[in-house]
Structures are given as C-alpha cells and as structure tokens.
A and B are shown apart, each in its own frame.
Chain A
C-alpha cells in the first residue's frame, strides 16, 4: 500500500503543474530551515567554540569550508542519480531538476575552493598548491561549468539536457577520486578528520557548529534547486495553458 502510494506520488511529480506547486510550497520552508540552522551554526562557530590550540581562530573557516565541500560532492551525486532517472524514464521535470542542480553545485565548489585558499594562506603559507585533493576539486568545478555550458549550447532544451546528463555520468568518476585522493596520494591536504564510522579526530566541542552548518547547506541546496527548477519549468512551458492561467490570475502572477 505504501509502495503503491509512493509510486503514484513519484509519477505525479512528472506532471509540470504538480511539480511547480511542490517547488512553490516547499522552497520557502527549506529556506527558513536553512536560516535557522545557519544562524545557530554561525553563532556557535564564531562565539561558542574555543580557538584551536595550534591554528588559533583560523580553523573557524572550516565551518564554512567543510560543509561546502561535502555539499559540492553530495550535490554531484544527487545530480547523477537524477541524470540516471532522466535518461532511463525520460521524465522532463527530472531533466530540469538535474540541470538546475549544476549552478548550485558549482557555487558550493567555488566556495569550497575559495575558503580553502583563505585557510591555506595563513596555515600552509600559500593560496594554492597542485595537490591531489585541491586539483580534483578544481576539476569538479570545471565539470559543473562544462555541464552548464553544454546544456546552454542547445536551442532544444530537452536534447541539451539529455546530452548534459551523459556528461554528468561521465564526470561521476571524479567523486571517488576527490574522496580517496588524500589516501591514495601523499597530499598537503589533511586526511579525513570527521568519520561516520569510527572515532572522529576533531574535538567533540567543535562538532555542533559543523553539524548545524552541514544540515543548513543541505536545506539551502534543496531550496535553491527547487527555485531554479521552477524557473526553468515556467520558461520552457511559457506557451502552455497552465502557465498562462497562473500568470493571468488576479494576484498578478504571484502564484507563478
């Protein structure tokens, strides 16, 4: 019974008006959740946790850098799962979501690289090193930009999305490279400090802001993804009746 309901719900999401309504309703809640998590996380990161005994206050950059890095990679995995669904079942709303994920993922990758650089200058004495972790993260940014460029190069958006979905799957090979780069090669970048399985090497008092910020950026990724997908859907369906009805409503298109 539950499986049947899930299946029906999944199929309903393929309907553009239903998908549009979901984006419109869900996005503000996700943004609100992000604001709450970010407010608590930033307060704890700047006011509550003590300075590191070696790095001083510079380690506070990691409360931005680490969640951004995790989200850049998690965002890519989500995009790849959506790409498989889009290619196999050819659901247009999923194609739109896949393509909407790229700019948000690219923003997190750029934020991760920039904050890593800002941490590296005082701690390593350099803004950049051609280290395996840093280089593979830079490659991730180029892959995200390549996907966005390829999608934009096609006048037929559906054809562009399908070609870009194949590039998404090709680029997936970079994710394990990023993750294991600190184990496979000798890198300037430190190894994993936080472990899901086993003991973390970070002091427990420093974990709460990291958890709040990580949850916050995940909610923000979802919100930005739905906002962008909603725009692409309106843009693609601008000649269709359901969009015209939304725009023509007395609230001067506030529902669109």
Chain B
C-alpha cells in the first residue's frame, strides 16, 4: 500500500528522481556496451568475409 504522506509531491519527486538516476546508471552502460560489441562483431565479420549486408 502506498503511504499517505505530508508534502507528498516533494517526497515522491525525490524518490522518483532517485529511481530514475539509478536506473539510468544501470541501463546506459549496458546499452553502450551492446553498441560497441555490435560494431566489433560487424568489423570482424567484414574481415572474415562473413558479413551479411542487410541492405543487399
């Protein structure tokens, strides 16, 4: 059950901000790593002749 608090807007905004920043710190590095790995795999595939061009 959600507690009924005085100054609810200020309290919940603070806790919401905390959740958003923590989630961002978790997600952002994983998204970046996935992008770097995808780039590297594409480079490797091109070098070994296994590249499957999606636009071809």
Most A Cβ at <10 Å: residue of B3, B11, B15: B11
Number of interface residues of A (CB under 8 A): 41
Q: Are A231 and B18 closer than 8 Å at their CB atoms?
A: no
List of A residues within 8 angstroms of B18 by Cβ: 64, 68, 111, 115
**Interface residues of B: mostly helix, strand, loop or mixed?**
helix
Q: Are B37 and A253 closer than 8 Å at their CB atoms?
A: yes
Interface size band for B: 20 to 34
List of B residues within 8 angstroms of A97 by Cβ: none
Interface check A42, CB cutoff 8 A: yes
Q: Are B7 and A46 closer than 8 Å at their CB atoms?
A: no
Complex: A42 Cα to B3 Cα, angstroms: 12
Contact of B14 among A119, A220, A253 (CB under 8 A): A119
Chain B residue with minimal CB distance to A243?
A: B40
Contact bitstring B2-46, A, C-beta under 8 A = 1, else 0: 010111101101110110011011100110110011011100100
Interface residues of A (CB under 8 A from B): 31, 34, 38, 42, 46-47, 51, 56-58, 60-61, 64-65, 68, 104, 107, 110-111, 114-115, 118-119, 121-122, 220, 224, 227-228, 230-231, 234-235, 238, 243-244, 247-248, 252-253, 256
